[in-house]
Structure 1
């Protein structure tokens, strides 16, 4: 079968023929309907090397951690899955026996340091291929929903959902404000999730006019980037600032802009993985503002994300690429040409 393989550090992935996987005990083989191309993948082949490898990865695996598809075959001991049924794949893979994994939070597995890989498409062969084998536990049913369109929900939907869910106490009531910074695949879904879960006024900001126009269509009020960005955001809130902010970029200027926009006792979650610093000072930070981050989410969260998708309350914007154009999807992502999410559809 054809697959997109990350072969070496600082090297663009390759499209090549690899052996079709066979599901092991407790696993399900999926015929891949869609695999999302994510900036995290770009970081792996563009930024990581033997010295800078925060995920603890080895080279030589199939990319793709945003996956959905149809049941093709089941491994030993697996029951309850019918061939042809559509499922979304929960990407993180923990030890399965610690406290974090027992609550479905494999992202924070207590044995991460000794696990062979952190997830599907992250050390373990992923779904940027015609077929992928995954633990049966990691499958979330999609019913009649389109799995190719649903694929990005495995990360681009799950990551903002988890962060927003944790911030919901800050957004209770109608007189609250939420700020979304960065309107790519995750940010646009973040706007939709905030609309679905809260009554907050949503303020969205980006450097791209077309991205802000899309956010406006989803019900957000937009503010362009610039030196007076925080002042304009505060003006929209009547001077008090935003109660919760979600930074999907994570560079120093965006974190600074968000902190300058916060209300007293607000909560800022940094979700972008740029890894740039922020200098905290007592006198420039509103009192009791929480500055935190989060990583992906729980498998329970992904079930809830799938429910929102099936109910028509959220819908990722996707651009589909056939398998023979899979590398184009990554190149377009690198070049900043992707609006929303690039999804590779190996079977058309």
Structure 2
């Protein structure tokens, strides 16, 4: 079968022929419906080096945002029908520790000794015609479109988990939320905030077209610039924002987040740009929380799928054939995409 493979650090991936996987015990072989191209993939092949913390050694098939149709069951697997559509939960922990027993594979206690981080992150992913995944990691999609759903396994799950943890700050009237960065995760984050809260949603970005898209989902937008924080605070009556979600994670955006948050508010860094921020008792608002999240739980993903099937989340996607998959990564890396690139290997 054909697959897009990460073969070495600082090396653009290749489209090549590899063996079709055979599902092992407890696994299911999926005929891939869609595989989302994510900036994390670009980091794997273009940013990471052999000594980078959190690296995932080559070689393996890329693609950690996956959906597909059941093709074949491995030994010991029951309860799945061939042709049924599922979304794939990407993280894979040890399956034995307390965190994994709760479906929190991203907090696996044995992460340092696991052979890989997840599907498409050390283990062969979905940028291929077929992918083999643990049966436990499948979330049924019913009759919902699996191709458009593929990015939800990260671009939907990650903002959902961050927002769900911050809901106490957004409970009640007169609350405000700020979304910094309106890429794929930020746009879905705006939709999730609209569906789950009554908060006024403020969104900020440097791209006018991204802000226009967020306005369609009900956000009030503020462009980047010297008066960015002042304008955000003006929208809150000077009080500051109750819950801030930074989907970039660069030093300047963290600075905007901390300058915009209210007393007893919460700042969640979701983006992994690696920025740092100096903290001082005398400059940070009293009892304001600064935290980070990573991906989410499989229970969260079931809830994301429920929102997708109810029409509360509508991912903006641009579809590419597998033959054009490398072009999708090139455009992603060049910042030329306005929607989530989804590779659809079996599209006619």
Range class of TM-score, shorter chain: over 0.9
Unaligned runs of 5+ in 2: none
1:46-65 aligned within 5 A: 46-52=46-52, 54-65=53-64
1:115 match: 114
List per-residue Cα deviations over 1:69-101 (Å, max 9, x = no partner).
Answer: 100000000000000000000000000010100
CA positional deviation for 1:12:
0.3
Give secondary structure in 1 for the equivalent of 2:282: helix
Give secondary structure in 2 for the equivalent of 1:265: strand
Task: Give the length in aligned residue pairs.
Answer: 347
TM-score, structure 2 as length reference:
0.99
List per-residue Cα deviations over 1:251-278 (Å, max 9, x = no partner).
Answer: 1110001111011000000011110111
Q: Distance in 2 between matches of 1:342 and 1:50?
A: 27
CA positional deviation for 1:109:
0.2
Give secondary structure in 2 for the equivalent of 1:284: coil
Segments ≥4 residues shifted beyond 4 Å: none
1:299 match: 298
Q: C-alpha root-mean-square deviation of aligned residues, in Å?
A: 0.6
1:152-301 aligned within 5 A: 152-301=151-300
The answer as to whether partners of 2:49 and 2:55 remain within 8 angstroms in 1 is no
CA positional deviation for 1:194:
0.3
Q: Distance in 2 between matches of 1:109 and 1:36?
A: 24
**Residues 1:13 and 2:22 are matched in the alignment:** no
CA positional deviation for 1:238:
0.6
The answer as to whether partners of 1:56 and 1:117 remain within 8 angstroms in 2 is no
Q: Distance in 1 between matches of 2:207 and 2:75?
A: 50
CA positional deviation for 1:173:
1.3
CA positional deviation for 1:56:
4.1
The answer as to whether partners of 1:188 and 1:340 remain within 8 angstroms in 2 is no
Q: Distance in 1 between matches of 2:173 and 2:217?
A: 18
Give secondary structure in 2 for the equivalent of 1:329: helix
List per-residue Cα deviations over 1:224-256 (Å, max 9, x = no partner).
Answer: 001110110000001101000000011111000
Give secondary structure in 2 for the equivalent of 1:283: coil
Give secondary structure in 2 for the equivalent of 1:92: coil
The answer as to whether partners of 1:62 and 1:128 remain within 8 angstroms in 2 is yes
The answer as to whether partners of 1:29 and 1:133 remain within 8 angstroms in 2 is yes
TM-score, structure 1 as length reference:
0.99
The answer as to whether partners of 1:35 and 1:151 remain within 8 angstroms in 2 is yes
Q: Distance in 1 between matches of 2:173 and 2:142?
A: 34
The answer as to whether partners of 2:94 and 2:110 remain within 8 angstroms in 1 is yes
